[in-house]
Chain A
Amino acid sequence: MKNHKGYGRFVILCLTPAVVLFFIFMILPTLNVFRMSLFQRGAYSPTETFVGLDNFKALFQDASFIRSMQNTILLIVVVTLITFALALLFAGILTREKLRGQNFFRVVFYIPNILSVVVIAGIFSAIYKPENGLFNSILSLFAGHTVQVLWKDAPMVMTSLIIAMIWQAIGYYMVMYMASMSSVPQSLYESANLDGAGRIAQFFKITLPLIWTNIRTTLTFFIISTINMAFLFVKAMTSGGPNGASEVALSYMYGQKDAGLYGYSMAIGVMIFLFSFLLSAAVNKVTKREPLEF
């Protein structure tokens, strides 16, 4: 009994630093975001006025906020769908097929993920350059005349962000899927072969159901990381321009802080928090299946 008590104390002592740090640096600031969203104040001003839900009321009449949310949702949907499909396809090919230079492809696909977003923005700045950029040069080569697509101008700017974000994200999710695919027993595929199932049937009937738990986890990752990465990409590539056309929710929130509307930007923060939380919960609920065992 005495021994057990000492063990308990030891556990508490070991856990305390982490719990305290987590509380001070994670829980407290998050609660503070909710509190400050009810006030009107500047970032450096010591005075604050309680305004209740006024900040939230203003949000729904703010056309710029609505546009930034639309852009965020567009990115979440398109980037998730395309990255998800391509990452699964590449992972399937690299684990199931015997390819020459398999390791080379694994490395190449993963490299974008270890680059910093600023570096990626620099690379894509060169790719998207209107004059003699990589994309426009290739297009001109095939068109036979000079093509000048303005990748970072109004109609194309979101597409340009989407391409860069997919390019960056594929490697990471590919590796996640490859890890779980390689743990699917070989014998299942062998018996499926004997039953006459083709490769595509095997992929949909065996591989997909068996890595379902993993896919569900990555869907949550997709939502959270797209919201966060979109901010970095927008900041580093377009600064929200031209004329706010590529503004996303987090970059708009950041800009409002600089405009002296700290409480308002916290209200945007609350909206993004609730949005990503609810969306993740919904996706989790919709994709719930009985887990399959090997």
Chain B
Amino acid sequence: MKKALSFVLAAVMALSLVACGSKGGDTGTTDSKDPVTIQVAALESAYGADVWKEVTDAFTAQTGIKVDLICDKNLEDVIGASMQGGEYPDVVHLATGREAGLTEQFIKDKNLTDLTDVLSMTVPGESKKVSEKIAGGFTETSLTNPYGDGKTYLSPMFYSPCGLFYNAGLFEEKGWTVPTTWDEMWELGDKAKAEGIALFTYPTTGYFDAFLYALMYSVGGAEFFDKATHYTDGVWDTPEAKTCFDIIAKLATYTNSITPAQANDNDFTQNQQLVLDNKALFMPNGTWIVGEMADAPRADGFKWGMTALPAVEKGGDSYSYTWFEQAWVPSGAAHVDEAKQFVAFLYSDKACEIFANAKNAEGQATPAVQPVLGVSKDLTGDNQMFYSIYDNGAKAAMGNFASYTAVAGLGTVREVFLDPVNSLVNGTLTEDQWIANIKTASAQMLANIQG
């Protein structure tokens, strides 16, 4: 009886193995006979899914390489399981900074294909090289070259200037001017307070990354930014760091007090609504905000405005952080050469045009702007104003905190640097405690830094 049972069990398990294995065998045979099919996994973001369908079709028409496209709002959930099983898409378009942190994990585990040679490849269907098309600076940041060895592992995609968004209509109505220094900012804050309007709000603490990077640039320039983002010993004791901490801590006292209660993934649009309702003046955000809040009710005479971060002192530099997404090739990808061609094609005139004409699911125009020279000139409406921020005196800030090997109990950059802002606003944490925690964590991050 026992023997029979174990025999049956063994037989069933063997059968299930055969069934699983045969699938792999099939794909193996089709590979050798049919023209190559690459798998592209792209996040369906505010720019909609149609652009990816069009771009992959255009790529197939140009090169004859077929594309199996996966496009989803929760891309991590769709491709995550099969990647854990060892099956990787050939190209992934998914930025860092997402909650699931999938791209960060690939960076930390060094599971990316080196894309440096893509830069010297000719764009399919054109005569120019990729490096001649990508705008300056985009392939020199830690977001594209995570290990600081001059090699590009992630390809820059859709960029968007970030800054402080406000109701330009309200400023006209009250006769206020947009502050250019932090001192003017605090003055305005007191004036607004007298009228029952808070100076500041933020959707979630995650939006402070672009804010903090631009702030670090405007306080100490590129040199301080590099030291800070590489957790250099003693950097948090410098006067520059102190200025950054003081500004954020002071800003916390000027923040609409209901902000932390709504600063989560479910209620963050209610914080954005505070600006639309004239209950807060400024919030850090990106150009996608216009499409995101398109259907929300708003105060009479509401008009979107966007400004770079104020300078620290009169005549100082003001910075706007350039947020951009990334496309990359997992090192486990089966068709690396074809994948690189696809990445190169993303910078072709054809692809840029398709991306710039993107529409979201509601049919509103949400242009996805490739970091290619000359693309932003053709924009219209609010977006023209947003993308011209660098023409109007603001400097571009790029880069991010250096990647470090994950350590149990250490926490992510967001948990250490940004999430405590909620506690600064609701008063459960003092500035000194916040700085002390950052110093402890930063030392550990330095010890585990990659590259």
A residues with a Cβ closer than 8 A to B are 8-9, 12-13, 16-17, 19-20, 23-24, 42-47, 54-55, 58-59, 61-65, 121-122, 125, 128-131, 148, 150-155, 236-239, 241-245, 256, 258-261, 264
Contact = CB atoms under 8 A, between A and B. Distances in A.
Nearest to A240: B264
Contacts of B412: 259
B261 A43 contact: no
Contacts, number: 142
Q: Which 3 A-B pairs have the closest CB atoms?
A: A62-B409, A242-B422, A58-B408
A152 B258 CA distance: 9
Contact of B261 (A23, A65, A153, A264): A153
A243 B423 contact: yes
Contacts of B260: 150, 153-154, 241-243
Given A20-B13, A244-B419, A239 B105 contact: no
Contacts of B266: 121-122, 125, 236-239
B109 A151 contact: no
Nearest to A234: B264
A62 B409 CA distance: 5
Interface string B239-281: 0000000000000000001101111111100100000000000
Contacts of A129: 270
Contacts of A44: 80, 83-84, 102, 105-106, 109, 111
B1 interface: yes
Given A13-B8, A243-B429, A150 B258 contact: yes
Contacts of B205: 241, 243
A258 B199 CA distance: 34
B84 A242 contact: no
A121 B119 CA distance: 47
Contacts of B101: 258-260
**Most chain B Cβ neighbours within 10 Å, of A62, A238, A241, A264:** A241
Contact of B267 (A24, A43, A58, A125): A125
A239 B106 contact: no
A36 B104 CA distance: 21
B411 A64 contact: yes
Contact of A260 (B104, B258, B419): B104
Contacts of B5: 12, 16
B4 interface: yes
Between A23, A155, A259, the greatest number of chain B beta carbons within 10 A of the residue's beta carbon is seen for A259
A12 B6 CA distance: 10
B237 interface: no
Interface in B202-255: 204-205
